[in-house]
Chains A and B, each alone.
Chain A
Amino acid sequence: MYAFVNGPLVWIAFAVFVVGSLWQVMSLYKMSKRTDKVFYDHYNPGAARASVWAWLMPLGSRPLRESPATALGFFVFHVCLILTPLFALGHAVTFEFNRGIHWPSLPDGLTDVLTLLFLASALFMLGRRFVLPHVKIVTEPKDYFVWCVTFLPFLTGFLAYHKMLLPPDQMLFLHVLFGCMMLILLPFTKLAHAFLFFLTRAFIGSEFARRGTKTW
């Protein structure tokens, strides 16, 4: 079991993540050729790029400027979510050990800070769902589910590194398991917004540009 999770499962998860995401994008693309004439009539690469870029910037869009606290929470969450696993020293070492490829990494102390920031911002996002009536009313069980799926790999990673709660190898086992779960589920749940964001923004950027209007 341990061996499976720490070995093949990781590769399976990566494969599912990559192939699943590509498959989702390709099938939407194929469908759009048939159903979204509007888009192809008015696609405007400049506006699409500008729209994506503006919304990737912390205060690049008017709506985010209007709610800076929420914007900050969202950005810390997403930046840490991407940077931490990509550059965690532990991941880089494992990668090098297994594949012999050197991967840049951040010092452990910094990874620790990023993890804590991530956990805090994740709690902030969860808190919004409980506290704000306009968020609560549209929150469904699956929103809590995907929240857990993102939260748990970080929590277990943190606990394993600090040797808390469970023996480190058991915690590490959970960490890998949850990490794989996140990768596997990403293309098939709401987490797919990670890549669908680019498609929907390119569309709306072009669609509003056609009417001389900005969406940021």
Chain B
Amino acid sequence: MSDQKPVNAEEIMAVIERNDTARLRAWLKTCMSCGLCSESCFFYLANDNKPEFMPQYKARVTLGELIKKKGNVSREQLQEMKEVAWGRCTMCRRCSQYCPFGIEIALMINIARQCMRTQNVCPDRLMTIDQSYVEFGNQMSIPDEEFVETCEWMAEEGQDRLKDLEIPIDKEDANIMFVVNSREPKYYPQDIQEAAMVMHAAGENWTMPSHGWEATNLSMFSGNLKVAGQVTQTLYDAAQKLRAKKICITECGHAYRAAKYEGPYWTKQPNGQAPVEVTHAVKLFHDYLKEGRIKLKHKFKEPMTYQHPCNLSRSGDLGAYGDGLMEMLCDNYVPMQPDAEWSHCCCGGGGFIPMGADYKKIRMVAGKVKAEQIKKTGCKYVLVPCHNCTDQINDLNKEYDLGIKVMSFKELICELMDLPPHMQPGDEEEAE
């Protein structure tokens, strides 16, 4: 396009200088171009081992070039880099586990994304989402009132399933402040209802904030860390205002990573810790079952496998909790291979799902590795504790004819839990 502004090398260099750390320098010096990281990457495996998909190469042709040229690249070059930085890497960090030096290619790709974002080179949908965060505080442009109404509606409707179901909004001094992915109020309000049912049944003292209820942080993936920091700050502020003991993130992967591990740095917290403890639905539900706060009628009978989301099981500390919860819920839990922190990315992460239709084909090709992992388990049920993984695996299901059903923990628990008599909806209404 002719009306495009010329590339501003200074803005690119400002990002690079901000990220010029001793560890980045050490990585650039130590990489021996040994290629050991290649086979760790599902993009490489799914694309017939084409060398252009090996991790180090992807970092080299993006961040490497930007550093070498000191930001003096053309728009065309940036466009090519964009297809690599967003279209060939989900920042899943599996390659860091495979590199003998632990070089974090994902972080380099992230820095490259930040550089490009300053030039508005970024998948359009992600840039729109940045805007939506600024205007509405969430990725789906939902006004706070609408969110609160959805919760009220869901609580009321849920009383058919659980007597006196409540969704407390802005309750102070609660133990848990539960926050959701705005996809839930927008398309899947049932998710909110089910989470509420589980917490209610467990007798939890919990709440949801009327502002700061958005858990996702897709700006982390667009490379706009300023907005990413604002989103995190809003979350922390909400919890502090309500004096909640913990923030609990819904079944979403990157939201947990953003709030617990990256957010503290964006918002400059001392000691790199969030000001309010951050936990996740997987851990919360795990503890409810473990402590017997939730009882089951019976376990799930059919063989079921578990998708370990990268941001929970590799970049988060929840691998073992996911497995433990599966064991407690299922008679026949069949883990995928490789598993837990070594699990492959499904290709829904890194912003891929919200990047939309333009990137769907790439997603389906690269998702082949996950589709095969699932197929090998022979299971017809897959438990997926992350929204982006859910969308991706549902798409893979169609693409590769897997014939599976995807479930979330809250859905499964609601199906299996044994409610005490006083919580069971009575027959009074029916008698009327």
A66's nearest neighbour on chain B, judged by CB, is: B39
Of B30, B33, B40, the residue contacting A192 (CB under 8 A) is B30
Is the beta-carbon distance between A200 and B22 smaller than 8 angstroms? no
The CA-CA distance from A71 to B153 in the complex, in Å, is: 59
Determine the chain B residues whose CB is within 8 A of the CB of A51 once the complex forms.
Answer: 102
User: B35 on the interface (CB 8 Å rule)?
Assistant: yes
Residues facing A in B226-266 (CB within 8 A) are: 261, 265
User: B342 on the interface (CB 8 Å rule)?
Assistant: yes
Is the beta-carbon distance between B30 and A197 smaller than 8 angstroms? yes
Determine the chain B residues whose CB is within 8 A of the CB of A99 once the complex forms.
Answer: none
Is the beta-carbon distance between A28 and B100 smaller than 8 angstroms? no
Is the beta-carbon distance between A205 and B39 smaller than 8 angstroms? no
The B interface is mostly helix, strand or loop, or mixed, namely helix
The CA-CA distance from A155 to B101 in the complex, in Å, is: 28
The A interface is mostly helix, strand or loop, or mixed, namely helix
Is the beta-carbon distance between B23 and A32 smaller than 8 angstroms? yes
User: How far, in Å, is A143 (CB) from chain B's closest CB?
Assistant: 5
User: How far, in Å, is B266 (CB) from chain A's closest CB?
Assistant: 12
Determine the chain A residues whose CB is within 8 A of the CB of B2 once the complex forms.
Answer: none
Of A41, A196, A214, the residue contacting B29 (CB under 8 A) is A196
The CA-CA distance from A102 to B406 in the complex, in Å, is: 70
User: How far, in Å, is A35 (CB) from chain B's closest CB?
Assistant: 4
Is the beta-carbon distance between A211 and B314 smaller than 8 angstroms? yes
Is the beta-carbon distance between A201 and B35 smaller than 8 angstroms? no
Contact stretch, chosen from A12-20, A110-118, A134-142, A163-171: A134-142
Of A41, A67, A140, A200, the residue contacting B23 (CB under 8 A) is A200
Residues facing A in B269-314 (CB within 8 A) are: 271-273, 313-314
B314's nearest neighbour on chain A, judged by CB, is: A213
B312's nearest neighbour on chain A, judged by CB, is: A211
Q: When A41-B272, A211-B317 are in contact, do A36 and B29 touch as well, CB less than 8 Å?
A: no
Q: Mark B33-72, 1 if CB is under 8 A from A, else 0.
A: 1111011100010000111101011001000000000000
User: How far, in Å, is B368 (CB) from chain A's closest CB?
Assistant: 18
The CA-CA distance from A36 to B25 in the complex, in Å, is: 11
Determine the chain A residues whose CB is within 8 A of the CB of B319 once the complex forms.
Answer: 212-213
- Residues of A in contact (CB 8 Å), total 49
User: How far, in Å, is B249 (CB) from chain A's closest CB?
Assistant: 15
A27's nearest neighbour on chain B, judged by CB, is: B22
Of A66, A132, A200, the residue contacting B26 (CB under 8 A) is A200
B270's nearest neighbour on chain A, judged by CB, is: A41
The CA-CA distance from A38 to B107 in the complex, in Å, is: 13
The CA-CA distance from A36 to B221 in the complex, in Å, is: 21
Q: When A63-B97, A137-B52 are in contact, do A128 and B342 touch as well, CB less than 8 Å?
A: no
Q: Mark A180-209, 1 if CB is under 8 A from B, else 0.
A: 000000000010110011011101110110
Residues facing A in B75-133 (CB within 8 A) are: 96-98, 100-104
Is the beta-carbon distance between B44 and A134 smaller than 8 angstroms? yes
Give 12 pairs: A residue, B residue, CB < 8 Å, sorted on A: A31-B25, A42-B272, A63-B100, A133-B51, A140-B33, A193-B101, A196-B29, A200-B103, A204-B102, A208-B102, A211-B316, A211-B317
**Which residues of B come within 8 Å of A, CB atoms?**
20-23, 25-27, 29-36, 38-40, 44, 49-52, 54, 56-57, 60, 96-98, 100-104, 261, 265, 271-273, 313-320, 341-342
**Which residues of A come within 8 Å of B, CB atoms?**
28-29, 31-32, 35-39, 41-42, 51, 55, 62-63, 66-67, 70, 74, 128, 132-140, 143, 190, 192-193, 196-197, 199-201, 203-205, 207-208, 210-215
